Amino acid sequence: MGRRRRRKVVKVVKKKLPKYFVCPRCGAHAVKVVMGEIGSVAKVQCSQCGLVGEIQITGPSHPVDIYCKFSDLFYSGQIG
């Protein structure tokens, strides 16, 4: 008689959101987003070149969303 074979367990790896982002000015992975509460400001700062920006938080958002707004403002010339 044969025995039952166990089915292999497939682990699904969930990707995590990054904590440090690429600086639009110097290109280093050194931009960190420090968030406050909803309705306040989030501070975005590069530790390599010293680029700093403050973005207004509107509604629930993640650091990735704040970084995207920051990079859009940088490329449009409003920050920098």
Residue 9 belongs to some domain of the structure: no
- 11-63 pLDDT per residue, tens: 999 999 899 999 999 999 999 999 888 788 999 999 999 999 999 988 888 99
Torsion of Cα atoms, 54 then 48 then 69 then 53, to 10°: 20
Total count of domains within the chain: 1
Report yes or no on 51 lying in a domain: yes
Rounded Cα distance between 62 and 79, Å, is 20
CATH number for the domain harbouring residue 61: 2.20.25.190
Residue 54, domain member (yes or no) = yes
Answer yes or no: is 71 within a domain: yes
Measure the CA–CA gap between 33 and 10, rounded to whole angstroms.
34
Domain that holds residue 65: 20-76
| 8 located within any domain | no
The helix (run of H) or strand (run of E) holding residue 79 is: none
3-state SS, residue 45: strand
Residue 48 lies in a domain: yes
| Residue 24 covered by a domain | yes
pLDDT at 2 over 80: no
Amino acid at 8: K
